[in-house]
Structure 1
């Protein structure tokens, strides 16, 4: 079945109410912290109060004697019994040497490297007892100088012996000499320097885990709030604990948000799993919000310069970029891929720039590890490129839309100069629709009205593209990935004709139980309510790579479609036998099997029953049952794209920025459930606007202390900070997956930050303000205005 046929099936494109909403709304969901096991104890981690220090000694004697304390583990207890946490992506430096990969111990050994680094694990009968004992653990630290800003990392006190200069790797893409030659003769060159501010993920559900062990069968079970349980199990067993994979079951029940921060293998998960056997009891840990601020992997944190060479008419000729990327204190699971493979390969954007050269230096600092956060490299690339493109327009006296249209890719497939090949798109259609939604034609009148009130009004554009469903595995492997990037789907048809789907993808709020059910219901011609979706359990799902990178429907859904192909093929053989016809004469549509050219037909349910009650069955040709599994490894990324337009009003007396309107047009290919897609875009827009306007992770430069370690200090967007969004879509179906889908979960967070900042700069341009880093808080905007007035 082709993508165009699929898009015309019943249930596809329908805003079906989410099947999972009832249990969530009524409090019937089951999150990791809701689970309590027999013989359960509680863990609390002793964490470093210093950003950088030697551990001279740890005295646990007094704490161990406190009421209810079962055991206290330190790094010395784990030394030699397990490996360190692995990094899942190997980067090779420009000199041909592998990246520096220092050890990442589960509990700190000899040294702590950021505030929150885990030093000891206290296990007690109650949570209160564990907390009390943790406070009584005495650690003698030798405080060392700390470095937190990526631009200061070179020459600072070394975090790791393996990286004496704090440098992890230098990576590059493109032909530097050829790009430099174009710049030397270009009619115009525009240059910008900017920072992509560090962000702290704040999922509604904090990280949590329960480790348990059964002596009866020598098996471990880990309940964990995680986006990819099979990957968690693989990394923990093969790289850290050295356990047979089949002896560890990882269960991720309902997950209350992740946004990337729950992809990774964290030290707490390993420590709990290992200790469960040592103590012969289940051990539970749930992070409090302050702990999450300190220890969840952070996002973004780039310092970059970028230049565009153009001809006299504003046609892009070449671009060059240098980025310093902050990796934090240790290499997190996918951290090294974010500022390289997932970043540099998107710097072509929607434009026909013939040549691009990008160079990335990655550094260790005394901060929480940095890894994938909603978009993972794509927001950083888009922010850099779209800020640069708008600056090019202003330098040449062109409209922000004009310069984009002048450079849009119009012919597909299109091979970019940064490795990726786009299969399809229509960027002009998205731009046209966005301008209509935003009423750009009426902007001049609105600007005049604002100026009459002493306010400044600005319009900002952002034409983004992203790459979803990291693929294919062999290419990813060649680029450094240490795992496959396929997906698995199993379709189990029951005798009554109802279906259970087992998917290696996982939901943390995206509505998989509804969307995947729509796909299956559409193919088999059965009601959506007759399809159940199972995910998040390595003991029930064959295998899977989890959810990240907007891969669920385009990769996980494609695996389900392949399994459905097998179901349909076998079911046709059964139907042919029942209707005394040849296999080739059977057609299947809307839940019925028919014989071509006749009025013979039987429903899907009858075929399902026959498969399990094979009284009249071609046993010489087919096995009983109707159950199929398929793996899907994509041949390419999918490439959602769109244009966002933001309109702001700025009070120059106070620096307050008000977003008056925001219009977003996206091309997600085939859309299964418009309501769910709209919700995903809304959520992404809120996070992107939050970064642009208020969110900002700040460490004290001297001490390395996290200054934004609570909701009082770290500003998250609220409903009254946001306008009513206007959304639209265009559709160019993906050409290489059977659904024609492209992914939608990250788009809003990718396209919105540059649209907001470009709008603010458009408003402030008459005042002489030409540069402004995120977030555009009132104090920053006011300072930028005052700087021009002095």
Structure 2
């Protein structure tokens, strides 16, 4: 593909088109929208982690000023609508389906976590709705509760859902147990450790919001919502919850201020406001506040695992065994079962040629907020386990941690490489990526920096993480066999207007990634049209043919590939028109730089001339072609894409306080072809910030009964600017072999590679304190306790 200008084509760091409206306050977010005659909804939520609802008395609340209506779980049940569906089913080891208990829109008879919605109050103003919600009297009988996976699977534990034995939704496995056990039996070395991947709260900048609207003149519903995939919401809510034909349900996701996975899912509030709108005969608007988000937005991570690695006498990996308890929370969220199974265990090979792997995963219900995909979704959990385990193995065997990685990397000439856990990697060069990271981080000079820090009384450490992940989740026929209840293709519609400007309609959705710029660059590069004449439209099911949204770094790999297919159709039709106008054969017409040319001559027509001829067909091959210049294409990938990389982190710990400072961070990533380096760099830096947050600061903590202790930004420690270093980002590129762009995806690599790099650095800084592993987050009190507990022993030496 040839760029039309050095500052706009593929590979150019074009400034983001969309930022002008964001920075000038002209963004249009759901809460900015106010529909004529709208009312305001507030949800009364359970204060109990587990309780029986004995009675809901709303009489006093209904009489309060401004109250329009109050609905409870009994009202929802009486209306006959369905519960919230799970979009991915997995099977147990014995082939039986997972336990999939009902997830009501409003809790009925029983609440199962703090924040479970019990009633919806609709009033003229939000303040009036909040006042009325506080006046509702709910009689509860508290029940026993379980807040952690270990408590939930313990003998005699309270059942979160009646009849779900041991609170286990699924007991799943992958790999060959017998072969893996045999590898361990013949190993020269085995190492093992236990780890926790801490629970996180996504905390997107824009809280969730929804407006439900009903037009009785045409019997049509509209939902405005903060969603990463409006078509999926329309499908799930229309077909499985509200029983509304898709032709009469429009879902609009306007500007969305961040998602990180938390806005993929279909939430109860979306269904509730849409259901309520025709009942109150007015639009119903709900906007989440930050405290409410902590107990209503799906959380991320929360795994407890035991990992074992078998090695031969030379340090070559022979086998890996993993057992994981994955917290599902109180209900199965939209894609929750896929995260700890097919998005986690299938990545346990990492960058390494491990001959055999066996993993067992139990999805466990607890009396906590539902857990689902969060930036990386399963791949950060897998990478953290592998990369910590490799460092543990290096220490146990006495083999240098870099050398141990090198000995076990999949060779660059081994691709395509079939892993023992289902996936086949198509391309990569892990040795070269590692070399670049070591050079860029000055790994060789670290010991001098460690000594200099020690002279100042600081403990300095360096850590590395080499990772591979899977993006562009697909193909549909494969994921369908694995339990996905939707296709995972993408759709693009490209409309060339009569005067040559272009509108692109994409089924992906932008919520901060810069799609309006990147996609415009892609179109400009192929079609030869300046970017200021290209519009990218997304987020409205009434304007887009269909689409599966944005998550799993799929936008370019899947959505961009659909655009390439649509552009190929446009160019082919344009060549046919040009052949007619230029009185040449189709085979002689070339297209480049926005011009159709007869090969070997100066006879040509511009795209504008061709598009005008298509819409004003006075001289046109009318018997062969329809008028107009617009094409739609669907793209269903042949495989996942496999970004990879090496991240190096350098930290200093103050032994007097346990405070950790990230001194330097280097990220070298292979994300395939880079369309816009500036945007990729920003994506990587943002992911690294979230990874550092998980490693050092963030943790959603419940007490033993299920009360969320870190339920606000005063208690849940988000990273600030002064917690983060300048992140040095560079790329080593191997192209994806099975999509037309050669792209792999960049949106999650920072959050995947960084947590183990940080913790490996922290453990390295504490090498004199006999530390093998530290669970995230490595907070100052935790590190201070380790240092002070070891001081008497060190003094005795």
TM norm structure 1: 0.98
SS at match of 1:295: coil
| Alignment match, 1:96 | 95
| Alignment match, 2:789 | 787
In the TM superposition, what are the counterparts of 1:617-656 in structure 2 within 5 Å? Answer: 617-656=620-659
Shift of 1:597: 2.0
Shift of 1:604: 1.0
Q: Tell me if the contact between 1:9 and 1:522 (Cα under 8 Å) persists in the aligned partners.
A: no
SS at match of 1:628: strand
Shift of 1:518: 0.5
Equivalent of 1:480 in 479, 483, 486: 483
* Distance across 2 between alignment mates of 1:254 and 1:453: 49
Shift of 1:788: 3.2
Q: Tell me if the contact between 2:473 and 2:554 (Cα under 8 Å) persists in the aligned partners.
A: yes
* Distance across 2 between alignment mates of 1:124 and 1:164: 42
* Distance across 1 between alignment mates of 2:576 and 2:786: 72
* Distance across 1 between alignment mates of 2:791 and 2:325: 32
Shift of 1:96: 1.6
Residues 80-114 of structure 1 deviation map (CA, whole Å, 9 limit, x = unaligned): 42011010001100022100000000000100000
Q: Tell me if the contact between 2:3 and 2:9 (Cα under 8 Å) persists in the aligned partners.
A: no
Equivalent of 1:20 in 18, 21, 44: 18
**1:570 maps to 2:573:** yes
* Distance across 2 between alignment mates of 1:309 and 1:738: 39
Q: Relative to 1, partners in 2 of residues 1:621 and 1:497: Cα closer, same or farther, differing over 3 Å?
A: same
Shift of 1:310: 0.3
| Alignment match, 1:176 | 177
* Distance across 1 between alignment mates of 2:297 and 2:586: 55
Q: Which region of structure 1 is more displaced relative to structure 2, 652-661 or 343-352?
A: 652-661
Equivalent of 2:715 in 713, 716, 725: 713
In the TM superposition, what are the counterparts of 1:48-197 in structure 2 within 5 Å? Answer: 48-80=46-78, 81-154=80-153, 155-197=156-198
**1:764 maps to 2:762:** no
**1:293 maps to 2:294:** yes
Q: Tell me if the contact between 2:3 and 2:528 (Cα under 8 Å) persists in the aligned partners.
A: no
* Distance across 1 between alignment mates of 2:470 and 2:3: 24
**1:608 maps to 2:597:** no
* Distance across 2 between alignment mates of 1:219 and 1:33: 22
In the TM superposition, what are the counterparts of 1:179-578 in structure 2 within 5 Å? Answer: 179-410=180-411, 411-578=414-581
Equivalent of 1:43 in 37, 41, 44: 41
SS at match of 2:753: helix
* Distance across 1 between alignment mates of 2:720 and 2:331: 32
SS at match of 2:712: coil
Residues 134-157 of structure 1 deviation map (CA, whole Å, 9 limit, x = unaligned): 000000000112111111102321
SS at match of 2:639: coil
* Distance across 1 between alignment mates of 2:534 and 2:662: 42
Q: Tell me if the contact between 1:469 and 1:550 (Cα under 8 Å) persists in the aligned partners.
A: yes
Shift of 1:454: 2.2
SS at match of 1:165: helix
Equivalent of 2:586 in 550, 560, 583: 583
SS at match of 2:605: strand
Q: Which region of structure 1 is more displaced relative to structure 2, 653-662 or 70-79?
A: 653-662
Q: Relative to 1, partners in 2 of residues 1:8 and 1:355: Cα closer, same or farther, differing over 3 Å?
A: farther
Shift of 1:6: 12
Shift of 1:653: 2.3
Shift of 1:785: 2.2
Q: Tell me if the contact between 2:225 and 2:270 (Cα under 8 Å) persists in the aligned partners.
A: yes
Q: Tell me if the contact between 2:3 and 2:525 (Cα under 8 Å) persists in the aligned partners.
A: no
Shift of 1:293: 0.8
* Distance across 2 between alignment mates of 1:227 and 1:183: 44
Aligned length: 787
User: Tell me, which stretches of 5 or more residues in structure 1 are unaligned?
Assistant: none
Residues 589-623 of structure 1 deviation map (CA, whole Å, 9 limit, x = unaligned): 11111101222111111101111111111111111
Q: Tell me if the contact between 2:3 and 2:524 (Cα under 8 Å) persists in the aligned partners.
A: no
Shift of 1:207: 0.2
* Distance across 2 between alignment mates of 1:665 and 1:245: 44
* Distance across 1 between alignment mates of 2:8 and 2:288: 44
SS at match of 2:180: helix
Aligned CA RMSD, in angstroms, stands at 1.3
Residues 286-312 of structure 1 deviation map (CA, whole Å, 9 limit, x = unaligned): 000000011100000000010110011
**1:752 maps to 2:751:** no
Q: Tell me if the contact between 2:650 and 2:664 (Cα under 8 Å) persists in the aligned partners.
A: yes
* Distance across 1 between alignment mates of 2:208 and 2:492: 27
Shift of 1:164: 3.8
Q: Tell me if the contact between 2:4 and 2:529 (Cα under 8 Å) persists in the aligned partners.
A: no
User: Tell me, which stretches of 5 or more residues in structure 2 are unaligned?
Assistant: 793-797
* Distance across 2 between alignment mates of 1:199 and 1:405: 32
| Alignment match, 1:691 | 694
* Distance across 2 between alignment mates of 1:526 and 1:104: 49
Shift of 1:766: 1.4
* Distance across 2 between alignment mates of 1:725 and 1:400: 23
Equivalent of 2:680 in 664, 677, 682: 677
| Alignment match, 2:734 | 732
Residues 23-70 of structure 1 deviation map (CA, whole Å, 9 limit, x = unaligned): 000000000000000110000000000101000000010100111111
Shift of 1:278: 1.1
* Distance across 2 between alignment mates of 1:394 and 1:653: 26
Q: Tell me if the contact between 1:666 and 1:729 (Cα under 8 Å) persists in the aligned partners.
A: yes
* Distance across 2 between alignment mates of 1:153 and 1:95: 22
SS at match of 1:614: coil
| Alignment match, 2:29 | 31
TM norm structure 2: 0.98
* Distance across 2 between alignment mates of 1:274 and 1:599: 62
Shift of 1:787: 3.3
* Distance across 1 between alignment mates of 2:429 and 2:597: 39
Q: Tell me if the contact between 1:764 and 1:770 (Cα under 8 Å) persists in the aligned partners.
A: no
Q: Tell me if the contact between 2:3 and 2:10 (Cα under 8 Å) persists in the aligned partners.
A: no
Q: Tell me if the contact between 1:518 and 1:672 (Cα under 8 Å) persists in the aligned partners.
A: yes
SS at match of 2:766: helix
* Distance across 2 between alignment mates of 1:160 and 1:320: 30
* Distance across 2 between alignment mates of 1:178 and 1:83: 45
Q: Relative to 1, partners in 2 of residues 1:158 and 1:631: Cα closer, same or farther, differing over 3 Å?
A: same
SS at match of 1:308: strand
Q: Tell me if the contact between 1:6 and 1:738 (Cα under 8 Å) persists in the aligned partners.
A: no
